[in-house]
Structure 1
């Protein structure tokens, strides 16, 4: 009797150990790697590495610097005279919860990691998304969105020409950027999976259960596209957003967002710093109805001027909340004193 109980106990331990080992195998894989094992086809989204010059390193250089070594020697010309991809996009994870687009949670997350707080969605996980230029971006780009909404290559080209105000990418440049993005795909460890959910996925991968069930579990753990809602600035600029501002949070907005582009004119003709004289100017102009008001430029952006194609893209409500706009005004007001 004791012998049988001991065998049963050892068997239970082995089952638990096997299950734990299997879960660890899932955790070490990318999301797409697991989804492909579950029957999802990502071949159309993979880069064409047979084109001369294509490499993830060349893609990284274009994303960060705006140029890359040419296949025949030398460097390409600058893709844009005004921006690089990282002007508006992070390349690392920027959201603590991948299932929602929460600008206030994002601000705390990126600030803790010394990352900027930007208008566009991070390139991390871009290959995992199904749609691009979602929501109100159709109002801005019209029919140009049609070629980009469901095609990552189309989205990259639209961003290069319209958002960056630059030239079209050559095929090898486009495929290189795509190759670089594949180095930034979501990992299974990024997902907030319960132990039971991991066990179900592992069981399906072992040949038991429905693949669609495992796919559904994974797909519910991250956004398949970034929502975008354009909102107007406050109708009454003196009243502002009607939220009580938190100056400490406003400091994070100012330093991680405004100064990212405007400090020393990095990506802007309008230079800003954190000195009181700058804040006095911003505070004085905030109540107005011109492009000098923080309310107007954040919600409507700043269009390009004749002879200057550089512009400021607006913040959607998913990228900066009205509360954060009030926080920013509070910080500017405090620093202006």
Structure 2
């Protein structure tokens, strides 16, 4: 690991430690503060902590969890280096660790893409780890179509979903207990705070009033301001790949999808052995294979993803409709075709 990357990791860990040290003040007072962690507020109002709750995670576990998420390996408490979770991917191959949406109450693909463009975030298939401990289900909806009964232990368990991601999605190994604790410790620093709900003054006063008079209603009020799960709909291919979906593509959005999405993995020394650069040859290749019934077609790979194969265990997850709209697929096509003379 080069010195610049080590420095960036140290900075990120320091920020995570500061976030984890934020006061859990609502347990000691009668008023909700904007800096309070949502999990602590909901607990104080009468909701049980989830199974993945880590009480006051220590700095060493947070550091190890950060490294497992971003690097794929770390050192145990006794200084022994762990094996890589996966030789193919790290968690950040498919997941951001930053907020991805301005409005936490709805799915808006264009708003999410614009937010990614503004903040230079990867536009990825997986849900962000930011706020993941505040969700109540994972591997939702249509993921059962791809993983079948494997989602049984994952849908209602963050621990189960992490193990499924480690062993199947990343084609890696099962996590040990101390590694799971470390990852959950780090993820707890990425949980939502009251201020993230972006309540106006009247809403903030209403929340505090409900907290005093009707805790159950306060819980419902708070949860109405963010999605408790990340919806997942497996979308259909267009009836004709020659014609595509019935939208006019926007090349400027397609450029962002190509650079923030496709090239996140498809670059030299990236997760994929297929390099998608900015050469005319690459854009011609992509255009030529647009109508194919194979992984060479952007329609096929975006909507179906790929599966583990003999001799090629790694695979690409598909983009659900919530993560890339039909129109955005046409945006990508428009950008590709705009680069072919």
Q: When the two structures are superposed, what TM-score results if normalisation uses the length of structure 2?
A: 0.88
Identify the residue that residue 144 of structure 1 maps to in structure 2. 150
What is the distance in 1 between the residues matched to 2:232 and 2:194? 26
**What is the match of residue 166 of structure 1?**
172
1:312 to 287, 309, 316: 316
Residue by residue, what CA displacement relative to the aligned partner does 1:156-189 show, whole Å, maximum 9, x if unpaired? 1111111111000000001111111100000111
Alignment of 1:41-56 (within 5 A): 41-42=48-49, 44-47=51-54, 55-56=61-62
Selected match of 2:68 from 53, 56, 62: 62
Q: Which runs of 5+ in 1 are unaligned?
A: 1-21
- SS of the aligned residue for 1:336 comes to coil
CA displacement at 1:248 relative to structure 2: 0.7
What is the aligned partner in structure 2 of residue 189 from structure 1? 195
Query: In the TM superposition, what whole-angstrom CA distance separates every residue of 1:53-77 from its partner, at most 9, and x where no partner exists?
Result: 9701101100000001122223111
Aligned to 2:238: 234
- Tell me if 1:325 matches 2:329: yes
1:34 aligns with 2:41: yes
* Aligned-partner Cα distance in 2 for 1:43–1:304: 33
Deviation digits for residues 16-64 of structure 1, max 9, x if unmatched?
xxxxxx999621212122212211221632238899x970110110000
Question: How far apart are residue 197 of structure 1 and its match?
Answer: 2.1
SS at 2:289 equivalent: helix
**Rounded Cα–Cα distance in structure 1 between residues aligned with 2:57 and 2:95:** 28
Supply the distance in 2 between the matched residues of 1:75 and 1:268 (Cα, whole angstroms): 26
In 1, Cα distance between equivalents of 2:210 and 2:271: 49
Would the aligned equivalents of 1:54 and 1:175 in 2 still touch at CA under 8 Å?
no
For 1:96 and 1:123, locate their aligned partners in 2 and report how far apart those are by CA, in whole Å: 15
In structure 2, distance between residues paired with 1:48 and 1:183:
11
Q: Is residue 70–residue 76 contact of structure 1 (8 Å, CA) maintained in 2?
A: yes
Structure 1 segments, 4+ long, off by >3 Å, are 22-25, 47-51
Give the conservation status (yes or no) of the 8 Å contact 2:245–2:330. Answer: yes
Alpha-carbon distance in structure 2 between the residues aligned to 1:333 and 1:84? 32
2:32–2:41 Cα contact (<8 Å) kept? no
Alpha-carbon distance in 1 for matches of 2:64, 2:202: 41
Q: Is the 8 A contact 2:31 2:208 kept in 1?
A: no
| Aligned 8 A contact 1:289 1:296 in 2 | yes
Aligned mates of 2:30, 2:281 — CA distance in 1: 57
- CA gap of 1:326–1:314, structure 2 versus 1, over 3 A, is same
For 1:275 and 1:150, the matched residues in 2 are separated by 45
Q: How far apart are residue 204 of structure 1 and its match?
A: 4.0
**Residue matched to 2:183:** 177
1:252 aligns with 2:256: yes
**Aligned-residue offset at 1:200:** 2.2
Query: Shift of the alpha carbon at 1:243?
Result: 0.8
Match of residue 18 from structure 2: none
How many angstroms apart in 1 are the aligned matches of 2:121 and 2:322? 17
- Report the alpha carbon displacement of residue 246 of structure 1 after superposing the two structures with TM: 0.5
Match of 1:198 among 185, 195, 204: 204
Deviation at 1:105, TM superposition (A): 0.9
Counterparts of 1:23 and 1:116 in 2: how far apart (Å)? 40
Residue correspondence of structure 1 range 268-279 to structure 2 within 5 A = 268-279=272-283
User: For 1:119 and 1:57, how far apart are their aligned partners in 2?
Assistant: 26
Q: Is the 8 A contact 1:26 1:202 kept in 2?
A: no
CA-based RMSD of the aligned residues comes to 2.0
Which of residues 303, 320, 324 is equivalent to 1:299? Answer: 303
User: What 5-or-longer segments of structure 2 have no aligned partner?
Assistant: 1-28
Q: Distance in 1 between matches of 2:322 and 2:221?
A: 25
